[in-house]
Structure 1
């Protein structure tokens, strides 16, 4: 359920095992932004007093404006003469130590990486990266906090007493960023106002948010070329239609399984299950408690028993599902809209992507889709770098330069002729570029997402149109990003426990009826307390 990254962390994120970079503990399905603090002073009025001003960047006109639909703008071409947004390198010549996560393979070292070398030159400081796979980041973060090895800049991970940890370890950025003060860093000022809620604890700004929102919405990707070749539709009217599609796509002689990974979130959307929480009768109710959960699990169990899900779905990682989708051995996969560029990288030029919206399970109409969280994660500046705070903010401002600038073009596509080729006037990453540019820059700071997919003709329009169709009607989490101390301390463990029961049910080791007892245990082990803490913040923010 949680939306953590441009790609889901692993199949366990469908049951919310705790987001690696997020500030929150809004379990079940931890979102990636933490809005609340420990003192009760974090209501909307308190946040408004310190929230940075918003100054929209209008330096490039969108071909496909998305604001009215609540989705990113789409761009069909990169400007031929991009604006230079930064006139002076942000660095001070000294190393910048960064600790963050990655969802892609570790890039070549700086000595073998021409992009990294030129990036350091443009920054004006050598950037040293401490990268950890996202599934392991929370543990790595806790160890780094205990050992005092957070570096200069760090992505905030999941740890108990997070507000207190931030007060002890992170620079209070309020004097630098509150209100109009942020205008010194114009590309940080271009970040959406709602994203900053994730960085405010106890009326202090403790980091830079990385905005996402609708682009992080999870949907069902389909290999349209494979569907077309078999005469199969890219639309569904019921759960039975979904099962039949999976049956038709599965061909064990070709080592093809319809689903590259578990479709749990997609199936839950067919059954109208809430996005993590819902308000009912003056309290928050977990989506785990929804009566339709057992029906949804029974359907996923049926797909598993029928052999329609890849047999390594429970043990494989994020890159595995991309590979299966790309080579056609898993032509259906649940992923975020933001994953479109990396999925294109895995596919032949003839291949196409389609998005299949979830139908209501009983054929009564469309299903619903869970809307992505407004903030992906938050990046803080360590107190060990407090004497260089303006350098660190200038560096993060550089990373937030928006689409249409020369800085964005370099960050995303690297060196012309090495990391990208120009095709019909647009940059397209080479295989070398896809490897070299994976410095996790987008998890340190980033501007608002832009839909720009030059790798495949028509892809920008396809992605934009799918988002335009799905996202305006998508269902948000009512307490997205609000902070629960109990969730921070216990959420990961109790979610792992209930996830294990779900795994056992899907694989047939336990009956579906065991779900009710698992939910009861989850509630008594901390779920009910999390609901109370989140609801208190929810009421104070209305």
Structure 2
């Protein structure tokens, strides 16, 4: 057992119960999922990053129906190419097993013996793939146990443990000789990943991981069931907080067991007051959004929604999947979620007349449009185990295969599986079957992935609808100034601090504590570690410029 493992083993009880969001959440700022720099002497400031950051070579093999670059959003496509090109000529595997350690946000798939997609994947890769899948909420604890027990896979999504730079140095292969600068061109689909996403895997001038890119698609927005709004004679365009409350009133019908909101729309209401995205720069330092002066007004709105019965009564007692179910079955026509959840809603809504729309946050006082928070460039990083260093090129080829972009045969198979088993063709487009939705949940998208593409074949017009929704809110979305920065204190204490402040938030909204309790809770957050996180991130921000 090395020094890092010994320290980790001593801290495993502290880590129990922490949420796992991959490296992005593990080393992000408190209350959100972002990557960064921090203690322990590690550095990923811009000067060190720029020396090794991989070259960016955009894939141009397919032309988008709706180009998103101008708006900083993904490209959109109405149709999948009728004759997709095969871009990988030889299987990337070497015949030996490839084991991956990662997480999942979906049910565990059928075992290999009952999973035709998995069987075909093994053939296409040229190596048998095995995956240790853990629900994302449990991943940090499982990851810590795997590290301490020396049971990480050949490739692993980095979980939220202390001293991540030291972990990577001890456990991960240094990928710099293979991926820095033009070296990455040997793996063209890894070179197609956005430059900024790589920041999360660079420490001390070395590349330790492959980013899982997301960006704008991971921005949280308010979904609405446009069909239900229309049936109630309601319009999704709201111009003030007061109109939002009235909309929720109009959507709530207790006789039909319908409550407007699947959960409290806390961030949406904060967006009405232009609160900074987690951190704001002020007089050369970073200040937490928790200290924003408008919180009391925000809580008054949220308390009104809860007291009036416009929020589902089980909002604080269920699981995340319950929110999706309430939205899909119409029992809660409004839900806050990321843009990336759109395809899941399309797949789970059984009503063929159901339609999705996004409600943009207005300014609370009716003076214009509010601003949502822009999603982080990456949601995590996949590293290659130092124990598998002799296979590094094979494993990079495998990750390159998983990153094959939209329009290729490889992407079609990875996302939609085997024709007439995992998907059928509807008007020429692949649409997942129930079997496919089950079989494909191998966590491949949390091992490596191509840049997100808007392609929603489940329902005609959905790709354009999501593209236009993103186009309407993302160009003005607020970025987190601490994105890409690392705080060791945040890794050690951030989740604990966030859980505590979230509990006070929930208590205030539900009326168990007065609004005045917020000031004391923020003061405690600051003294318990929030101020130290701010100081570490401020220093990291200064050194990155």
Q: TM-score range by the shorter chain?
A: over 0.9
Normalised TM-score (structure 1) = 0.95
Question: Which residue pairs with 2:362 in the alignment?
Answer: 359
Question: Which residue pairs with 1:322 in the alignment?
Answer: 324
Question: Per-residue displacement from partner, 1:463-521 (whole Å, max 9, x unpaired)?
Answer: 00111111111000011131001111111111111111111111111111111101000
TM-aligned CA deviation for residue 390 of structure 1: 1.1
User: Distance in 1 between the 2:299 and 2:109 partners?
Assistant: 38
Asked if structure 2 preserves the Cα contact closer than 8 Å seen for 1:19 and 1:32, the reply is: no
Matched, 1:500 2:476: no
Which one of the candidate residues 464, 475, 495 is aligned to 1:472? Answer: 475
User: Distance in 1 between the 2:444 and 2:482 partners?
Assistant: 28
SS at match of 1:22: helix
TM-aligned CA deviation for residue 443 of structure 1: 0.8
SS at match of 1:473: coil
SS at match of 2:24: coil
Question: Per-residue displacement from partner, 1:392-449 (whole Å, max 9, x unpaired)?
Answer: 1111000000000000000101110011110111101111111111111111100111
SS at match of 1:279: strand
Matched, 1:343 2:345: yes
228 and 361 in structure 1: CA distance in 2 versus 1, 3 angstrom threshold: same
Asked if structure 2 preserves the Cα contact closer than 8 Å seen for 1:21 and 1:157, the reply is: yes
Question: Which residue pairs with 1:7 in the alignment?
Answer: none
Which one of the candidate residues 42, 45, 59 is aligned to 1:43? Answer: 45
User: Distance in 1 between the 2:81 and 2:37 partners?
Assistant: 37
- Between stretches 41-50 and 471-480, larger displacement belongs to 41-50
TM-aligned CA deviation for residue 294 of structure 1: 2.0
SS at match of 1:527: helix
- Between stretches 16-25 and 341-350, larger displacement belongs to 16-25
Matched, 1:296 2:260: no
User: Distance in 2 between the 1:147 and 1:338 partners?
Assistant: 34
Question: Per-residue displacement from partner, 1:116-164 (whole Å, max 9, x unpaired)?
Answer: 1111111111111111111111111111111111111111111111100
Question: Which residue pairs with 2:465 in the alignment?
Answer: 462
Which one of the candidate residues 52, 55, 58 is aligned to 2:57? Answer: 55
Which one of the candidate residues 154, 167, 170 is aligned to 1:168? Answer: 170
User: Distance in 2 between the 1:404 and 1:462 partners?
Assistant: 20
Question: Per-residue displacement from partner, 1:171-224 (whole Å, max 9, x unpaired)?
Answer: 111111111111111100000111111110111101000111111111100000
Structure 1 stretches of 5 or more lacking a match?
1-15
SS at match of 1:82: coil
Which one of the candidate residues 73, 76, 79 is aligned to 1:77? Answer: 79
Q: How does 1:515-534 map to 2 (within 5 A)?
A: 515-534=518-537
- Between stretches 222-231 and 27-36, larger displacement belongs to 27-36
User: Distance in 1 between the 2:476 and 2:275 partners?
Assistant: 15
Matched, 1:419 2:422: yes
Asked if structure 1 preserves the Cα contact closer than 8 Å seen for 2:38 and 2:488, the reply is: no
Question: Which residue pairs with 2:489 in the alignment?
Answer: 486
Which one of the candidate residues 306, 310, 313 is aligned to 2:312? Answer: 310
Question: Which residue pairs with 2:12 in the alignment?
Answer: none
Question: Which residue pairs with 1:103 in the alignment?
Answer: 105
TM-aligned CA deviation for residue 25 of structure 1: 3.4
TM-aligned CA deviation for residue 28 of structure 1: 2.8
User: Distance in 1 between the 2:385 and 2:256 partners?
Assistant: 52
Question: Which residue pairs with 2:149 in the alignment?
Answer: 147
User: Distance in 2 between the 1:222 and 1:442 partners?
Assistant: 26
Which one of the candidate residues 430, 439, 444 is aligned to 2:442? Answer: 439
Question: Which residue pairs with 1:177 in the alignment?
Answer: 179
Asked if structure 1 preserves the Cα contact closer than 8 Å seen for 2:19 and 2:136, the reply is: no
Question: Per-residue displacement from partner, 1:82-134 (whole Å, max 9, x unpaired)?
Answer: 01011111111111111111111111111111111111111111111111111
Normalised TM-score (structure 2) = 0.94
TM-aligned CA deviation for residue 20 of structure 1: 4.6
SS at match of 2:227: helix
Matched, 1:535 2:538: yes
RMSD: 1.4
- Between stretches 381-390 and 276-285, larger displacement belongs to 381-390
User: Distance in 2 between the 1:75 and 1:186 partners?
Assistant: 22
User: Distance in 1 between the 2:115 and 2:148 partners?
Assistant: 32
Question: Which residue pairs with 1:271 in the alignment?
Answer: 273
Asked if structure 2 preserves the Cα contact closer than 8 Å seen for 1:23 and 1:481, the reply is: no
Question: Which residue pairs with 1:159 in the alignment?
Answer: 161
TM-aligned CA deviation for residue 17 of structure 1: 6.7
User: Distance in 2 between the 1:486 and 1:455 partners?
Assistant: 44
SS at match of 1:76: coil
TM-aligned CA deviation for residue 19 of structure 1: 3.7
Asked if structure 2 preserves the Cα contact closer than 8 Å seen for 1:20 and 1:135, the reply is: no
User: Distance in 2 between the 1:330 and 1:85 partners?
Assistant: 43
Question: Which residue pairs with 2:234 in the alignment?
Answer: 232
Structure 2 stretches of 5 or more lacking a match?
1-17
Asked if structure 1 preserves the Cα contact closer than 8 Å seen for 2:30 and 2:495, the reply is: no
Question: Which residue pairs with 2:117 in the alignment?
Answer: 115
User: Distance in 2 between the 1:140 and 1:278 partners?
Assistant: 33
SS at match of 1:472: coil
TM-aligned CA deviation for residue 34 of structure 1: 3.0
Question: Per-residue displacement from partner, 1:293-327 (whole Å, max 9, x unpaired)?
Answer: 12212221221121111122112222211111111
Question: Per-residue displacement from partner, 1:259-296 (whole Å, max 9, x unpaired)?
Answer: 11221111110122110000012211000000111221
Matched, 1:386 2:389: yes
420 and 396 in structure 1: CA distance in 2 versus 1, 3 angstrom threshold: same
User: Distance in 2 between the 1:39 and 1:393 partners?
Assistant: 28
Question: Which residue pairs with 1:8 in the alignment?
Answer: none
User: Distance in 1 between the 2:22 and 2:186 partners?
Assistant: 30
Question: Per-residue displacement from partner, 1:330-355 (whole Å, max 9, x unpaired)?
Answer: 11001111111001011122110010
SS at match of 2:379: strand
